[in-house]
Amino acid sequence: MEDRVSEPSLVLVFSGKRKSGKDYVTELIQQRLGPDVCCILRLSGPLKEQYAQEHGLDLDQLMGPGPYKEQYRADMIHWGESRRRQDPGFFCRLASRGACQPVWVGERGSCCCDVILQTAELCSVIGQLVSDARRLSDLQWFQAEFPQQTQSVRVQSSEKTRSQRGWSFTAGVDDAESECGLDNGVEFDWIVINEADAPSLDEQLRPILQLTEEAASTSSVNQS
Binding site per annotation, positions for substrate: 194
Helices (H), strands (E): how many in the chain?
A: 9, 6
Beta strands in the chain (DSSP E): 10-16, 38-42, 103-108, 127-132, 150-156, 190-193
**Annotated binding residues for ATP, as ranges?**
17-23, 165, 204
Distance CA 46, CA 109 (A): 9
**Annotated binding residues, as ranges?**
17-23, 165, 194, 204
Q: How far is CA 47 from the centre of its chain?
A: 13
200, burial (CB in 10 Å: exposed 0-12, middle 13-18, buried 19+): exposed
**10: phi then psi, degrees, rounded to nearest 5:** -150, 135
